[in-house]
Structure 1
């Protein structure tokens, strides 16, 4: 059996009936959307989704920085006043 990674869950039928009520009842928590008692999707608040995207982007930038750290020895010092 698959794990449901949310405190709140609802069937697709429940979601179709009254999505606004379902979102309100979840009080900002993710909602697992179930089809035949298996999670098929997760409904998350827009704020949470935006934060997740920012964190993914930060993580990806961190990987790029880590990957390029060895290039530091080839860097040229520049004085911003000289530009």
Structure 2
């Protein structure tokens, strides 16, 4: 079982990690909202957490990018994690 990380905007829209199962293994597919919007990241990551600040900017904490998933898992370029921050606030 995978616990999905959920956060809410000030207007109540839910954002959560979107994962698909490939060969029985969970693989990241980005972020999905309760309104049906899908947000893709530039690379494949294991998303660790989601957060909205007071200005409603989305923060996405993730593992280092990985090139191969499933049983042949490997990171692409080192093992440093990544933090994505949305540029625009919704206010």
Specify which structure has the higher proportion of helix. Answer: 1
TM-score band, normalised by the shorter chain? under 0.3
Q: Higher Cα Rg: structure 1 or 2?
A: 1
Q: Which has the higher contact order (CA 8 A, sep 6+)?
A: 1
Instruction: Return the TM-score normalized by structure 2.
Output: 0.22
Specify which structure has the higher proportion of strand. Answer: 2
